[in-house]
Structure 1
Amino acid sequence: MEGALAAKTLIVVVFAALCGAVPTTAPSQEDISKAQDYLSKFFSDVGVSAPNSATVFRSSLESFEDTLKKMQEFFHLEVTGKLDSNTLEVMSRPRCGVTDVVRYSHFDGTPKWDKPVLTYRITDYTAGLSQSEVDTTLAKALKLYSDVIPLDFKQSDSSAADIMIMFRAREHGDFSPFDGKNGVLAHAYSPGEGHGGDTHFDEDETWTLDSTGSNLFLVAAHEFGHALGLAHSQVQSALMHPTYVYVNTEGYKLPDDDRKGIQAIYGVRQTSNQPNPNPTPRPMPESAPDRCDRNLNFDAITSIHRRLYFFKDSYVWRRGSFWSGIRVNKIQSVWSGINKVDAAYENKKDNIAIFFEGDHYWGIRGKTVLPGYPKPLSAFGFPSSVAKVDAAVHVSFTGRTLLFVGRRFWSYNERWGRMDRGYPKYISREFPGIGHEVDAVFENRGYLYFSYGSTQKEYHYQRRRAVRTLSNYEWMAC
């Protein structure tokens, strides 16, 4: 049995132990020991290829400093080879336990399932949720993949199901025992015969459907990615990024990086495989989102020529003077060739607006797209791991543009046309009171407005403090 298990790839979700206060002086021996353990698990060539293989750092080719530099480069930290406070903080985050790689990645040999329908069986349920809640949640996690690839999933009671799922504590028969609460969350095997695809959850954890405890949907969706053949991604917003972070699961769709990775293995799912002898009816015109919806959230916000533009899906609202009201248009009808805007800002000095869409950006003057665009994000100075910009704002009195990606942000020097040194930095540290992530941000009358979800923080930049909380719809003349 042990030999058969060693032939599969085991993937583990780990909550790394917190290091306590972040050191500001030389690292202690305890810090160094924890760092060595971290690097041996996630950045050595030994890896965790099998449940019965010891993860011990024994590389004669790489020193501790060289391996630490590799880790710092992966997480876009300052590459010093020194165990500084930022590096220790990253090491303390919850994460998955397989060796780290860049972008989406596949296991060696790209293992996959060669059948159109995969069966799965849940042999042991958690006591923290009802059986129906577990069934529904796991089916929802699998649907993330069946929505985008030609592979369907069917729950079965058969002992011959392709993917066997269980909730067990400690030793559970696969030579990889769980370690109790707040340690390893779950593990899964890559595709293949025998134990291939099998997924196990630690019953000592508190499994929930919200932000408390361990969110079953997010952990399961990550593990099922491994069970289908995905390894880890360096893209922070990817489901397969090694760091585990809770996000709002309502309406959650497979992020672009994960979608591209899984489609590279299985192909793209067609919307319908059934012949349709009848002519396709003309689709009903898409209606603009309700601007007075109390749960309204924005993709991007910016000022252009003293007017505020609010972007949502394929629409843009323009707010001029108080008495001119709100006008709505399709983005495409205003700026030809642009369908959606993820982030936007205006550099008033140069009379140019920059629109970010996916992995590229556009230069805009008025309603005209400037020649030479779109350009890739790398031309802006972003590393290859950044596949999307969440928010952007030009701070006029500093001459800097702030660009937000996940929980961090960059500072761009417009005068010199390059990123400032020392970035990215963490949003929550540099902008206390606004939270960890930003959907949209803009400057108005000397304040910055950070929008996340349906609310936003009015922020005094020079005093570094949040002044008040607003609802997004309050800008919509409702």
Structure 2
Amino acid sequence: MHEHDKSREAVGIREKDCIVEPSVLRTLQPRNLDGGQVRAVLYHALEVWAKHSKLTFQELNSDRADILVYFHSGYHGDGYAFDGRGQVLAHAFFPGKERGGDAHFDEDEVWIVDPYADLEQIEGTSLFAVAAHEFGHSLGLSHSSVQGALMFPWYQGYEGLTPDLQLPDDDKHAIQQLYGAKDTKLWEKIPTYKPYYPQRPDTPRPATPATPPRPPVRPTRPTTPTTTPTPRTRPPRPTAPPPPPPPPPRPHPHPHPHPHPHPHPHPHPHPHPHPHPHPHPHPHPHPHTPRPDVPEKTPGKPDTCNTSYDAISVIRNEVFIFKGKYLWRIGEQGLRKEYPAEITRLWYGLPQGLTHVDAVYERNDKKIVFFIDKMYYLFDANYLMPGYPKPIHYLGLPRELERVDAAMVWGHNGKTYFFSGTMYWRFDEEVGRVELDYPRDMSMWKGVGYNIDAVFQWKDGKTYFFKNKGFWKFNDMRMRVENERQTLSAPFWMGCPRTTEMDDMDPTRPTTKRQIASSSSSSKWYSSVLISIVLLHCLITTSLSD
């Protein structure tokens, strides 16, 4: 197993045609094992995940299956040879094409197929324990840093690891974030504020998002295979934010230099239940209502009804929209008449001669963060906190990063996200650093594309991504835009009338073709992670039966 374990918000999408075919039914019968018993063990290992999520599984005797299970000995054609008994027990690939989702087990191991066997009295490795962990990777989960979690990367023993297992909270939250809980929503109630927009018609135009094709990049390496445990070399993460001087560089979360899924070997001295391959690399009709009173345009001020936005955030239950050195406020009564106004009228301590802000968000503790070029500013209400601004690389972002394009606290899980170019990061507010296993490719946010201008979440539980003069409404549960084509921002958010010119406009469409990098410098810091992120794409409707 490897050290890249913190947080596994994973790699997935909530919809996938997840059909499981144990290959033992078709070709490779494991030596000295009963095929029926093996199928039963694999069924129970998958049910560990199915009973805590909306996943179901169906056994299918076909190469069309999304998860193929093989027992191999030595070299078996995927570049990750098994080493005989002990050490590497198994490996699996993150979801994707071809090998994506597949799980490989070392045929030379002594596999125990009775999941209730007393492993202290029997020599061998629990097939159930290893399979349950590996299938977590097949479904898109990476390692967890929480001891006791099924996806923890280090061997912890087998007590309680039976088909009756109730997933630890960390694993449960991870699988539900990808595929949804059986009957509850994961995101908490969004604060209720009322941005201004024209009265919507009773029957809005239907929005039918196009189902994106399965990702073109398939995993080529399995996740870390199970091997003998070795002591961890990475010190525990700090419990407090780093001090003012730049923190020392963190180890890269992934030891894999390509953008493809990777099997991960697992070091275990006993029978080991942890094989891990990790491939980490994702309309509103507007009635013609009168335009609200908007201040007359003066030199330097943006045109309220004809502009893109630099940043958007919900602050104190109002929507703040930033452009250049100006901002608008949308409160309970709609767009405030005295706006746009200069940003520095509200926040004291921003740089003199301010020309723009790149991103803004309000933290859960009500402090406000501004990103401007390679610096970030922390405000308590209207006043800059002592010791700020600071370089954005203090947050764990790459030193080469020129700016943060957008930032938000996502209501779906309460976590903070930063976006820049083709990549995004999840930020740990308690530790004060971006999490391991990041950055990840923006293709996780289906239909949004790259180089966004702004993002925020509204009270309807939907996330809104902005680019140029339009926006996409994003469905957090389905992890995709609700309509492939953008909606114009000005009529919807500012109450501007639609014009013939607007009707003729074709707002930027989402980028659907996955790209590897936008520049050679950026590829240096994310190429080894990008390979590990491969998405699941079809509707998960399956049920495994004998």
Q: Per the shorter chain, which TM-score range?
A: 0.3 to 0.5
- TM-score (ref. length: structure 1): 0.41
Higher RCO by CA contacts (8 Å cutoff, separation 6 or greater): 2
- Give 1 or 2: higher strand fraction: 1
- Give 1 or 2: higher helix fraction: 1
